[in-house]
Structure 1
Amino acid sequence: MGNPESYACEIEKSLRIIGGKWSFLVIRELFFHEVKRFGELKSAIAGISSKSLTETLRHLEENQVVTRESHATIPPTVEYQLTDKGKAFSGILLEMKKWARDWA
């Protein structure tokens, strides 16, 4: 199984990249719907405030998990989508879904 200290360190690195609990739900939405606007994400994630969503999206963008694309429309349109790094996380989401189905 490997060195427990190394294993813990890698998990900590992963959690720093992903961030808080809302990140998992943002990644889930973008994984299944590819591109979403801020309002669409807010509607799809029950209980998230605009402030929390903004902070989560900024964190994920800073860690190259999502990209933000602005379109010069009135009002401005901003779309979010997963990067390759974010898409690589999808296997973990699917395993979490399976785990919850089996144990929740």
Structure 2
Amino acid sequence: MEKKRPFDCGVTRSMEVIGGKWKINILWAISRGEPIRFNQLKRAVQGITNVMLTRSLKELIAYNLVKKKDFNTIPPHVEYSLTEKGASLVPILRTLDQWGKKNL
């Protein structure tokens, strides 16, 4: 059974999934250049460490917002792209981008 929250709304639940310093930036970067490889993503999300990028990607994959395609090669070749669920966030991200450019 799911734990009851004192303040349970869609925004709160959404921010539990995509909140934090990096996840929105990661989703935005993937949406602009998918499929994208790890090092390309690291360059696109300036300031993120390998550890934080790896951790954030694992969480986004667990929430089925990002999918990982491993080509099983040496050296490793892995690509990330948005799932259908992740792609449904892109219009919201575009709106946030436009709002930020206009108001900040």
The equivalent of 2:90 in structure 1 is 90
Instruction: Please tell me whether the aligned partners of residues 20 and 56 of structure 1 are also in contact (alpha carbons under 8 angstroms).
Output: no
Relative to the length of structure 2, the TM-score reads 0.88
Instruction: Please tell me whether the aligned partners of residues 36 and 80 of structure 1 are also in contact (alpha carbons under 8 angstroms).
Output: yes
Q: Which region of structure 1 is more displaced relative to structure 2, 28-37 or 12-21?
A: 12-21
Relative to the length of structure 1, the TM-score reads 0.88
The equivalent of 2:68 in structure 1 is 68
The equivalent of 1:49 in structure 2 is 49
Structure with the larger helix share = 1
Q: What is the SS of the residue equivalent to 1:21? A: coil
Aligned residues: 99
Instruction: Please tell me whether the aligned partners of residues 19 and 60 of structure 1 are also in contact (alpha carbons under 8 angstroms).
Output: no
- RMSD of Structure 2 on Structure 1 (CA): 1.6
Instruction: Extract unaligned runs of 5+ from structure 1.
Output: none
The equivalent of 2:22 in structure 1 is 22
Instruction: Extract unaligned runs of 5+ from structure 2.
Output: 1-5
CA distance, structure 1, for counterparts of residue 60 and residue 15 of structure 2: 11
Letter matched to residue 34 of structure 1: E
The equivalent of 2:3 in structure 1 is none
CA distance, structure 2, for counterparts of residue 98 and residue 46 of structure 1: 20
